[in-house]
Structure 1
Amino acid sequence: MGSAGQDQGAASLWDIATPSRRGRLPGVSMAGFRARTTDAVDLGVVPYPAVTVALELGDGALAVEDADGRRQSGGAVVGLASVGVRGRGRDIECLQVRLSPSVAHAVLGGGCAEPGAGVVSLEDLWGREAVRLQERLRAAGSWEARFALAEAALLGRYEAGPAVDPEVAFVWGRTAASHGAVRVERLADEAGWSRKRLWSRFRSQLGITPKRAAQLVRFDHAAHRLAAGHGAARVAAETGYTDQSHLYRDVKAFAGVTPTAVAAAPWLAVDDVAWAADGHRAES
């Protein structure tokens, strides 16, 4: 088994398991969560630059709800840049999968790329295959076996699913690598497309515009620096915001709270344990 354990604060509420080896499908990361308490859990989800799939595997009940009141249990898919999402339940045991937008387009058939998709049911996207996978995951004897089952299902879907345009994948990759600092016009030139064509294809395949993608990636970078204990003024200056007020507006728009509240967000407290392999540990 890979790293498992607890972080400070909210992370101590969870036993967290991660795969012992790197997966075969780039752009996919997984972690297993088991609540250490039977008390009710109610967590606000901080938007992240990936599509998240949550599969409930225990005897408890996990419900994922978006800002529009759409509520899914069992297998829930949180679309890219969805805001106002909350996870609620008791005695939770679940597998979470993070999919890069390019992978999600193939694996989920583009079903979560519709603007405003928010939270959707995996069963609505995969049909009975989602139910069968959940049953097999519940019956598996270890987290490592669960990770292997999930990876096989994702790989099969990816190979059979629709691929994004290479130019769209390139622009997303450049956006992520630069923490959202490269202008859309420059990315369009590098991809060999007009700005209008890039905007249209990117949005139709990933569900958001290139500008919104850059804002999301920059917000994520800033949020992790805030969670690492850096002050808002320093974070704003070092992550490309015009000033501290600009950072405040973006954090409020994505997370619905202030930078101070984001810094203490329980959802971010588990990242250094569950998602350390993603390379999103905030810099010192």
Structure 2
Amino acid sequence: MGPVGWEVARPRGVGRVAGVAMAGFRVPGVEAGGLRVVPHPAVMLIVEFGPGGSVVEDAAGRAQRGSLVAGVGFGAGGGVRGRGEDVRCVQVRLSPLDAPRLLGAPAGELGGAMTALEDLWGPEGTRLRERLAEIPSWQGRFAAVDALLARRRAAPGARPAAVDPEVAWAWHRIVAGQGRVRVEELAAEVGWSRKRLWARFQAQTGLPPKRAARLVRFDRAAHRLVTGGAPARVAAAGGYADQSHLHRDVMAFAGVTPAGVTAERFLAVDEFAWPGAAGAAGAPGAAGAALTRPPAAARRSRPGR
């Protein structure tokens, strides 16, 4: 059982698809003001299956009921809220590098917005929701989601193109560096111009590389704050220029001060749902086989080049 009366479940063992993290939630109810969605450096998939339901509303007043998919950094600015009664769902976090094969659309098409699961998966999304409602245990539900993701990953036929090796390298470097990397360095490592890396990275992940680095750094800092870290120490450890710099970033992403972010329930739940995965983008951020050297260096080492 997680905080604030939430039931939180985790899969036992490792799934068949690398770079995917899952958790199950049963939330009795949410007050009228709703829960603030705190942005995370992963694509978010929520499959609802219970008798109740939820509504997620963004800062522009657009509302999405039921199962949804949201892009990297969804909730930035603090204006996204969720509410509902007796909500039961499986939440999946995955790297934007895996989105094309698993979701059927590049993460760049999602941007930082949300869309209905059925809009991406059609009847397959409806069947999954109905199947989860029939399964009596969390472990059985996790197995069903894992099996579907494995089938989608291996399915023959048309799938959106995978991300460029250069973009994958840059994403892994941002995650491994906890957001403390410079775009100029990434561009030099992959042998691209800064402009080209910026454009391709944003098209394929949904964020420009500099903002992705800020999001990864914010995520680690926010979790440190939640676990009791003093803002000055969190700022120093996270590579911020000073405490005011941390304050500005936390306000920009979460819509609250560093002191206020410690009360955000979505962050508190992470300790139960994804223990040890907070910061550094969690398991999804490091999805897939990490590259051992920049793509530019790999190309130069090929025979005949």
Q: TM-score, normalised by structure 2?
A: 0.84
The structure with the larger Rg is 2
In the TM superposition, 1:29-40 aligns within 5 A as 29-35=21-27, 37-38=28-29, 40=31
2:247 paired residue number = 248
> Which stretch shifts more, 96-105 or 38-47?
38-47
Closer/same/farther in 2, CA of residues 111 and 120 from structure 1, 3 Å limit: farther
2:128 paired residue number = 133
1:193 paired residue number = 192
2:6 paired residue number = 14
Distance 1:58 1:71 in 2: 19
**8 A Cα contact 1:111 1:125, kept in partner:** no
Closer/same/farther in 2, CA of residues 66 and 16 from structure 1, 3 Å limit: same
Which among 95, 104, 107 is matched to residue 99 of structure 2?
Answer: 104
**Deviation readout 1:3-38 (Å, 9 max, x if unpaired):** xx33xxxx1411111000111212210000112x35
In the TM superposition, 1:159-174 aligns within 5 A as 159-160=154-155, 161-162=159-160, 163-174=162-173
Q: Alignment length, in residue pairs?
A: 273
Displacement, 1:174?
A: 1.1
Distance 1:227 1:56 in 2: 27
- What's the secondary structure of 2:204's corresponding residue? helix
1:60 paired residue number = 52
Closer/same/farther in 2, CA of residues 262 and 105 from structure 1, 3 Å limit: farther
Displacement, 1:212?
A: 0.7
Distance 2:239 2:187 in 1: 20
Distance 2:240 2:68 in 1: 33
1:25 paired residue number = 17
Structure 2 segments unaligned to the other structure (5+ residues): 282-305
Displacement, 1:216?
A: 0.3
Closer/same/farther in 2, CA of residues 154 and 70 from structure 1, 3 Å limit: farther
* Residue type of the alignment partner of 1:248: H
Distance 2:132 2:16 in 1: 19
1:225 paired residue number = 224
> Which stretch shifts more, 43-52 or 268-277?
268-277
2:296 paired residue number = none
Closer/same/farther in 2, CA of residues 159 and 195 from structure 1, 3 Å limit: farther
1:158 paired residue number = 153
Distance 2:16 2:200 in 1: 27
Distance 1:79 1:125 in 2: 13
**8 A Cα contact 2:54 2:87, kept in partner:** yes
1:145 paired residue number = 140
Distance 2:39 2:223 in 1: 12
**8 A Cα contact 1:56 1:73, kept in partner:** no
Distance 2:246 2:278 in 1: 22
Structure 1 segments unaligned to the other structure (5+ residues): none
**8 A Cα contact 1:55 1:96, kept in partner:** yes
In percent, how many aligned pairs have the same letter?
A: 55
* Larger RCO (alpha carbons 8 Å, 6+ apart): 2
